Amino acid sequence: MEREAVLVGIDVGTTKVCALIGEFNRDGSLTIVGKGAVPSTGIKRGLVNNIEQTVHSIGEAIEHAERLSGYKIDRAFVGVAGQQVESQNSRGAVAVSGHSREVSREDINRATEVARAISIPSNREVLHVIPRGFIVDGQEGVKDPLGMSAIRLEIETHIVTGSATAVQNLRKCVEAAGVKIDELVVSALASGETVVSETERDLGVAVADMGAGTIDLALFVDGSPFHTAVLPVGGANVTNDVAIGLKTSLQVAEELKVRHGTCDLGSLDDDETISVSVLGEPAGRSVSRLDVCRIIEARMRETFELLKAEMDNAGRGMLPAGLVLTGGAAQLAGAAELGREVLEMPVRVAAPSNVGGLVDNLLTPAYSTSIGLLLWGARRVVAEEPARYESAPALGGLGRLRDALRSLFP
């Protein structure tokens, strides 16, 4: 298979930092050729809280990926989370310029600039301005107006912002690890690239990436995001509750949750017990599994209620394809069923698929963001100035990638 492009994604998560090197082949398929996933120590709730530790984790992840692949990483698409991610939709209109009155790239850029010129507080930074659609002389729902005859062009955009200082801290860490940032990508949008189909995005679908510290949420309709947000809860809250409830360490609570946890209380026997090591009790103790799972279920129920409230505000009725759960914490047994009950909509758990190469352990919900970053990058290369990549290829030529990837993202 002829290789067309090599892209790098780095997901700086609360529990792990994962760097992936992916080769896109001529037929648009993706092969992972390098990966490094190391525990993350300097991140809390998706935000950098220790620069030195974060730089170190990123450096280690990169080194592993480089060693496996033989490539040298010098630039990457980087995931952003953290509770300060917010979004809004904005429109911009311009008169179509030129004698021919045909919509040009320049008109689209000017309309985008107008849409972007919303007032954003100085403590926030714009991360994405995503075109959602165009209105051409009052005709709605135009996806690509280029070349259309028109007098007035209006663009609808989805604008995602983050806390300027939080974004700056992440940027600092990645750059200190010797990597240039191709683009900072909000985690939920990256995950969305791998766990939902174009058809679901067109219909209306939500993606919730439940990590340890945050839930990264993106709602799509008509093929594009219309709401992006981050909720400051995740799997770590569940573990924490178990640790407090059982007076045990976080490590023990985590293992209990993963091995014995479920949200499906109906599946449990009243008398099933599990043995737990408890702080200050060397002999350990045996506890009721049902009691442990009641703690887990209660927190997960509350988490889904938070999700529901967020989705209600944004437009839960616009999501006939339901909610797709991903992220490490989505692996809890019974999560989809509980989600369905609380949210009253279809809920499924999803992981990356259709990826080849070094995918051991990667095809699980915890790596949706990492793999999604590569797909996001590929879409970018297709949609935007491929010249930018050709002139300064990170790791390889991008030659005909644009054509090759059209089959991936028609």
Ligand X SMILES: Nc1ncnc2c1ncn2[C@@H]1O[C@H](COP(=O)(O)OP(=O)(O)OP(=O)(O)O)[C@@H](O)[C@H]1O
Q: Which residues bind Mg ion (CB under 5 A)?
A: 13, 211, 369
Q: Residues 211, 334, 357, 386: which binds ligand X (CB under 6 A)?
A: 211
Which residue reads 């008169």 in tokens? Answer: 95
Nearer to ligand X, 192 or 234 (CB): 234
The sign one gets for the Cα dihedral 171, 369, 125, 169 is negative
Site string for ligand X, 236-275 (x = CB under 6 A): x--x--------------x--xx--x--------------
Structural tokens at position 283: 């002999």
Q: Residue 236 touches which of Mg ion, ligand X, none (CB < 5 to 8 A by kind)?
A: ligand X
Structural tokens at position 146: 């280029």
Nearer to Mg ion, 13 or 386 (CB): 13
Q: Which are the contacts of 173, defined by CB distance < 8 A and separation ≥ 6?
A: 12, 42, 48, 51, 54, 55, 58
Task: Kindly write down the DSSP assignment for every residue of 51-103, as one continuous string.
Answer: HHHHHHHHHHHHHHHHHHH-----EEEEEE-STT-EEEEEEEEEEPPSTT-B-
Between CA 237 and CA 213 the distance in angstroms is: 8
Based on the shown chain and the rule CB under 6 A, indicate whether residue 46 belongs to the binding site for ligand X. yes
Amino acid making up residue 227: H
Shortest gap between Cβ of 387 and ligand X (angstroms)? 33
Q: What element of type H or E holds 28?
A: none
Residues 15 and 212 sit within 8 Å (Cβ to Cβ): yes
Q: Residues 5, 8, 10, 15: which binds ligand X (CB under 6 A)?
A: 15
Nearer to ligand X, 200 or 254 (CB): 254
Shortest gap between Cβ of 243 and Mg ion (angstroms)? 21
Residues 96 and 152 sit within 8 Å (Cβ to Cβ): yes
Shortest gap between Cβ of 332 and ligand X (angstroms)? 4
Total residue count of the chain as it appears in this document: 410
Structural tokens at position 61: 């992840």
Between CA 126 and CA 184 the distance in angstroms is: 10
Based on the shown chain and the rule CB under 6 A, indicate whether residue 9 belongs to the binding site for ligand X. no
Based on the shown chain and the rule CB under 6 A, indicate whether residue 57 belongs to the binding site for ligand X. no
Nearer to ligand X, 224 or 364 (CB): 364
Shortest gap between Cβ of 237 and ligand X (angstroms)? 8
Based on the shown chain and the rule CB under 6 A, indicate whether residue 92 belongs to the binding site for ligand X. no
Q: Which stretch binds ligand X (CB under 6 A): 49-57, 61-69, 208-216, 396-404?
A: 208-216
Q: Residues 16, 75, 158, 402: which binds ligand X (CB under 6 A)?
A: 16
Shortest gap between Cβ of 2 and Mg ion (angstroms)? 33
- The CA distances from residue 192 to 184, 208, 225, 266, 387, in Å, are 15, 9, 10, 32, 26
Shortest gap between Cβ of 355 and ligand X (angstroms)? 17
Residue of closest CB approach to Mg ion = 211
- Among left, alpha and beta (phi > 0; psi -120 to 50; other), residue 6 is beta
Shortest gap between Cβ of 370 and ligand X (angstroms)? 9
Site string for ligand X, 298-337 (x = CB under 6 A): -----------------------------xxx-xx-----
Q: Which stretch binds ligand X (CB under 6 A): 11-19, 69-77, 85-93, 114-122?
A: 11-19
Shortest gap between Cβ of 209 and ligand X (angstroms)? 6
Nearer to ligand X, 252 or 329 (CB): 329
Residues 75 and 181 sit within 8 Å (Cβ to Cβ): yes
Q: What's the CA angle centered on 82, arms 77 and 85, to 5 degrees?
A: 85
Shortest gap between Cβ of 367 and ligand X (angstroms)? 8
Q: 276-284: long-range contacts (C-beta < 8 A, 24 or more apart)? A: 276/246, 276/248, 276/252, 277/248, 277/249, 277/252, 278/246, 278/247, 278/248, 279/247, 279/248, 279/249, 280/247
Nearer to ligand X, 236 or 404 (CB): 236
Binding footprint of ligand X on the chain (CB under 6 A): 13-16, 46, 81, 211-214, 234-236, 239, 254, 257-258, 261, 327-329, 331-332, 366
